[in-house]
Amino acid sequence: MLRREFLAVRSRLTADDLRATAAALADRALELPELAHARTVAAYVSVGAEPGTRALLDALHARGVRVLLPALLPDNDLDWGAYTGEDSLARVRHGGRMALLEPAGERLGPDAVTGADVVLLPGLAVDARGMRLGRGGGSYDRVLARLDRAGARPALVVLLYDTEVVARVPAEAHDRPVRAVVTPSGIRRFT
């Protein structure tokens, strides 16, 4: 029910809202020291009314950062490919779901994410503890488990709208807190 509420709020955003918040989100994210020093960033291409990531992806790529983007596998796990600009994306429909923009080039394997310095996570909300509420598909739970198994400790950062930073979200034993949330109005860190 909580997920539906956040999605309902997002569905009321206009195209102008989405453009303005995407630009502000990129500006704020680029202020993160973790991104300033990153050589490899695992990110994602926003879809629908998600907080926009395209300006951020382009800015990271222009800085010479290796940007990895996910490709959804049939079991909901994620493979990864390199982002080298808008031409490196392909629109892919997975069953009855909305179409996703995925890397069109070589697949690097699900473990490629373990080499990232920063992992930008999608979500619907984050709470005061840094616990992230995802969409419920489990794809990023698998990514986080893979990072744990590999002993990888990238900075975990969630990109959200200002209203999606809340007092508390449900958390399960396998959930990991994020280091920071970036919203159009700023950055909040968690310890």
Residues 6+ apart with CB under 8 A from 157: 29, 32, 34, 118, 119, 120, 121, 178, 179, 180, 181, 182
Residue type, 45: V
Q: Which of 29-33, 132-136, 183-187 has the lowest mean pLDDT?
A: 132-136
How do residues 145-181 score in pLDDT, each as one tens digit? 999 999 999 999 999 999 999 999 998 888 899 999 9
How do residues 107-122 score in pLDDT, each as one tens digit? 999 999 999 999 999 9
186 marked among binding-site residues: no
142 marked among binding-site residues: no
Checking if the pLDDT of 69 tops 90, the result is: yes
| Largest Cα span, the chain | 42
Average pLDDT along the chain: 94
Checking if the pLDDT of 70 tops 80, the result is: yes
* Cut 0.75: pTM above it: yes
Model pLDDT, residue 2: 86
Query: How far apart (Å, rounded) are the C-alpha atoms in residues 57 and 60?
Result: 5
50 marked among binding-site residues: yes
Model pLDDT, residue 136: 78
81 marked among binding-site residues: no
Model pLDDT, residue 168: 95
Checking if the pLDDT of 57 tops 80, the result is: yes
Q: What is the 3-state secondary structure (H, E, C) of the chain?
A: CHHHHHHHHHHCCCHHHHHHHHHHHHHHHCCCHHHHCCCEEECCCCCCCCCCCHHHHHHHHHCCCEEEEEEECCCCCEEEEEECCHHHEEEECCCCCCCEEEECCCCCCHHHHHHCCEEEECCCEECCCCCEECCCCCHHHHHHHHHHHHCCCCEEEEECCHHHECCCCCCCCCCCCCCEEEECCEEEECC
105 marked among binding-site residues: no
161 marked among binding-site residues: no
Model pLDDT, residue 94: 85
Q: What's the rounded mean pLDDT across residues 36-54?
A: 96
95 marked among binding-site residues: no
Name the pairing type of β-strands 78-83 and 66-72.
Answer: antiparallel
Model pLDDT, residue 111: 98
Tell me the domains of the chain and their CATH numbers: 2-69+111-189 (3.40.50.10420)
Model pLDDT, residue 98: 72
Model pLDDT, residue 115: 98
Checking if the pLDDT of 96 tops 80, the result is: no
The pLDDT-based confidence of 95 (bands split at 50, 70, 90) is confident
140 marked among binding-site residues: yes
136 marked among binding-site residues: yes
Nearest to 23 by CA among 184, 187, 165: 184
137 marked among binding-site residues: yes
Model pLDDT, residue 7: 93
102 marked among binding-site residues: no
Query: How far apart (Å, rounded) are the C-alpha atoms in residues 174 and 98?
Result: 27
